[in-house]
Amino acid sequence: MLKIITAVIGRDLKLAMRRQADIVSALFFFVIVVSLFPLGVGPEPDLLRKLAPGVLWVAALLATMLSLPRLFADDHRDGTLEQLALAPHPLGLVVTGKVIAHWLVSGLPLALIAPVLGIQFDLSTDALVVLTFAILIGTPALSGIGAIGAALTLGLRGGGVLLSLLVLPLYIPVLIFGAGAVDATVTGLGGEGHLSLLAALTFASLGFAPWASAAALKIALE
């Protein structure tokens, strides 16, 4: 079981390394969107501190969305997805591997760069730590939920827009608890409660989403 998951992760990471432009463009999108806000709103530390959690999280959702349409589309186009579906193990395990690989190349870089961007919003050290941690444990849920949308819209024309319409509403709980954790730290309430709920969302979606995606992929392959 672990063997197939690591095989998928290894292959997807190798492919991502050969195509670094994809990773870098999503990351730069995140950096630029977040950096535009302080420039547009103006240098008022109080206001920026209030805006920071929401802005960073919304930008993280959108940056994750950018790479979702290609999650299965490339494999579908060149026939690899058929071969994966015919391998002698459940397709859900393959999707689990793909979701983890997607997180490693899209979610993890966001978490690593988020504290640097947070400085632009005059966040305290505590808030920066919680922000990084929240993005770190919240983005796997984004990859998981996104995989369902990517599988459902596979092969559709204009699937990208439909994918956003399907997936963004499902991201709302992650947004609320992710931004809430930073907010609660800024106001001194402590973000532990929010972080626990975020972790719960991640575990639930990683357990459930690959199997739902696998069911959708089977329909797309018919």
Partner 1 sequence: MLEADNLECVRGERRLFAGLGFRLEAGELLYLQGKNGAGKTSLLRMLIGLLPPEAGEIRWKGGSIKSDEFRADLCYLGHLNAIKEELTPLENLLAAARLADEDLSEDDAIDALEQVGLAGREDLACKYLSQGQKRRVALARLVKERRPLWILDEPFVALDVAAVDWLAGIISGHLQRGGLAVMTTHQLVNIPAGTVRELRLS
Q: Show contacts with partner 1 in window 182-221 (CB under 8 A).
A: 218, 221
If one asks whether residue 78 binds partner 1 (CB under 8 A), the answer comes out as yes
Q: Is 11 in the site for partner 1 (CB under 8 A)?
A: yes
Cβ neighbours of residue 177 closer than 8 Å, sequence gap 6 or more = 134, 138, 194, 195, 197, 198, 201
Q: Does 8 bind partner 1 (CB under 8 A)?
A: yes
Distances from the Cα of 130 to the Cα of 61, 83, 119, 120, 136, angstroms: 17, 42, 13, 16, 10
Selected range binding partner 1 among 87-95, 147-155, 193-201, 206-214, rule: CB under 8 A: 87-95
Q: Does 14 bind partner 1 (CB under 8 A)?
A: yes
- From the list 2, 18, 40, 46, which residue makes contact with partner 1 (rule: CB under 8 A)? 18
Q: How deeply is 204 buried, as exposed, middle or buried, from its count of CB atoms within 10 A (0-12, 13-18, 19+)?
A: middle
Does position 80 interact with partner 1 (CB under 8 A)? The reply is yes
Q: Which of 22, 4, 27, 31 shows the shortest CA–CA distance to 71?
A: 22
The single-letter DSSP state of residue 57 is H
Q: Does residue 73 interact with partner 1 by CB under 8 A?
A: no
**Could you say whether residue 19 binds partner 1 (CB under 8 A)?**
yes
Instruction: Specify the residue, 155 or 193, whose C-beta has the smaller distance to partner 1.
Output: 155
CA-wise closest residue to 111 among 81, 82, 131: 131
Rule CB under 8 A: which residues touch partner 1?
3-4, 7-8, 10-11, 14-15, 18-19, 77-80, 82-90, 94, 218, 221-222
